[in-house]
Chains A and B, each alone.
Chain A
Amino acid sequence: MTAVVARNLAKRFGRTVGLDGIDLEVAVGSTTAILGPNGAGKSTLLRLMAGLARPTGGSIEVGGEPAHQRTARARVGFIGHATGLYPELTARENLIFAARLRGVARWRERIEAQLEEAGLTRAADRRAGDFSRGMAQRLSIATGLIDEPEIVLLDEPFTGLDRVASDRLVARLQALRQSDRTLVLVSHDVALAARLADSAIVLRRGRVAHREDGGALDPQALENAYSAAAQRDSS
C-alpha cells in the first residue's frame, strides 16, 4: 500500500528547474526522510505532496488521487517552518479556525486534546503572537494534526527550536510513528533523519542522488551521500 506516489515528477519555476524526473513511493505507515542541500528541491517536493503547487511534468498522487485535489488535501497535514498561525488570535482560537476550516467533527473535544498533547492547556487563551518560537511550533503542529491526517508532511520543523523544544518535537514525531501515520520529513539533520525514518532520499538539483529503503538506515551512507551532494553543488 502506498500513501504517496510520484512518477517522473517535474516542477519548473520559469527557467529554473525545481524538480526533474523524481520517482518516489511512500508506503503507508512509513517514515520517509527527504534530505539534500539548500535548493535541492526538498521543500518543492513536499509542497507538491501537500497540493500547494501543481507539477509542470509527471504526476504526484496522494491516496490514489492527484495531490492538488481537495480529497487528497483532506488526507494530508502539513507542518512547515513557517507556523501558519494568526498572532492576533489565541492558541485556542487558532485551533478553532483550523478545525472549522478542515471540517473536523466534534471539534471542541479535538481542540482540548490537541492543547493537552502540545502542553499548551494553560496557555490556551494567550495570543499566539506572544508565544516563544518553541510554543508557536507546538501550536503549529497541533493545528496541522487537528483533523488526525493520515499523512503528515514536515518541512524542516526543527528550524529555530532550542534543544528542549527539539526533544519534545522528536518525542511527538515518534508518537506519531507509533500511531501508524505516514510521515514525510524534510530535514538538514542527517543523524536525526536516520534515527526517525525507515526510508530516505537525498536530492541534488532536483534529482534523486541517493536512495535508501527497507528498514534500518545507514547513517554513514546517508551522511556521505548528503556531503557529496552538498560538495558537488558548491563546486
Chain B
Amino acid sequence: MNALLAVLWKDLLTELRSRDRAIAMLLFSMLMVVIFHFSLPGGATAATRAYAPGLLWVAYVFAALLGLGRSFAIELENGAIEVLARAPVDRGWVLLGKTLANMLILGVVQALTALVFALFFEMNLLPVALPLAGVVALGSLGLCAVGTFFAAVAVRTRLREVMLPLLALPFYIPVLVAATRATNTLLETGSVSFASIHFLLVTDGSYLIASFILSDFVLDE
C-alpha cells in the first residue's frame, strides 16, 4: 500500500510540475470534439446529439491512450523503471499506483472536455453532472487498469506508440460499449442503467485483478 501511495504521489507531482501530458491529452480530446462537431451534418441537432455519448467516449479513449503511452515512457528516460521494478513489494501495487494516477489525470481532462462538448453540442449536462461523473469514473478505471498494464508491456518494445493501441483497444471494447450505453441512458432519461453499471464494475474488477497478478512479469526485462 505504501508503494501504491508513493507511486501515486510521485506521478501526480511530476505531472503537476511539467503538465505536458495533461495539456497534450486535453488539446487532443478538444480537437476531436471540434472535428466531430464540424464533421456531423448540421452541427448540433437532435439527430447528431443521439451520437453524443459515443463521440464523447471515443474522445476519452484516444486521450487516455495518448496519456498512458507517456505514463511509462517517462520511467524509461533515466532508467527509473528499474527503481520501480526493484521495489521490494508486489509489483501490482506499483502498477495500481500508476493506474490511479493515470485515472486522476484523465479525470481532469475528461471534465474539461465534457464542458467543451456540452458547448459545441448545445447540451445541458449540469442536471446529470454527478451521475455522469460516476459513470465516467467507472469507465475510466477500466480504461486505465488495462491501459496502464499494456503501457508497461509496450514501453520496452520498438514500436511502443503503435503497440499500446493495438494491445489495449480490443480490451477497451467492453468498457466502451457499457460506458456509452450508461451515458446514453443517463442523458436520455436522467437515470443510470443498472445493467451497464454492473457490467462496468465486473469489467473494472477483472482488469484490475488480472493486471495486479500479471504485473510481476511486465516489469521484468
Contact = CB atoms under 8 A, between A and B. Distances in A.
B213 interface: no
A102 B73 CA distance: 22
Interface string B65-92: 0000000001001111011111111100
Contact of A70 (B74, B84, B90, B220): B90
Among A52, A54, A71, A98, residue most surrounded by chain B Cβ atoms (within 10 Å): A52
A78 B13 contact: no
Nearest to B1: A103
How large, as a class, is the contact surface on chain A? 20 to 34
A82 B82 contact: yes
A86 B84 CA distance: 12
A176 interface: no
A83 B86 contact: no
Interface stretch (B3-11, B36-44, B165-173): B3-11
Given A86-B78, A86-B80, A102 B14 contact: no
Nearest to A98: B83
A88 B70 CA distance: 15
**DSSP class of A's interface residues: helix, strand, loop or mixed?**
loop
Interface of A: 47, 50-54, 68, 70-71, 73-74, 76, 78, 80, 82-89, 93, 97-98, 100-103, 143
Given A88-B13, A88-B17, A97-B9, A70 B82 contact: no
Contact of B86 (A73, A88, A93, A97): A73
Interface of B: 2-3, 5-7, 9-10, 13-14, 17-18, 74, 77-80, 82-90, 94, 220-221
A86 B3 contact: no
Nearest to A93: B13
The 5 closest A-B pairs by CB, nearest first: A82-B79, A74-B88, A100-B6, A53-B221, A88-B17
